[in-house]
Amino acid sequence: MAHTKQINTTEKSPRKVGVVQSDCRDKSRKVAIQYTIKHPKYGKYIRRRTVLHVHDENNSSKVGDRVEIAECRRISKTKSWVIMKVL
């Protein structure tokens, strides 16, 4: 697709680090971002995760890789993040 060559991110764009969960689709990955929050009433820390659909132009990442992702313009209905590098 020619329009994906024009995806660019700025230095100020939000970045996150996550783990690749799925690499079944071509040029797309599912990345899980783990974090903990404190329960408002009981004070116990709870593990949460966010799963994002991420664009990987070169299919460079595999399942289990830690990757740095950055927010970019919307690529499809669910993809608005792009892989910057594999850590």
* Model pTM score: 0.85
- Residue 30, strand partner residues: 22, 53
Query: CATH number of the domain that 34 lies in?
Result: 2.40.50.140
pLDDT of residue 3: 57
For the residues 56-61, what does the mean pLDDT come to?
Answer: 92
Structural domain boundaries enclosing 9: 2-86
Of residues 1 and 52, more confidence is placed in 52
Contact yes or no for 21/30 (Cβ under 8 A): yes
Q: How many domains does the chain have?
A: 1
In whole angstroms, what is the distance from residue 11 CA to residue 87 CA? 18
Cα torsion at 12, 21, 66, 46 (round to 10°)? 80
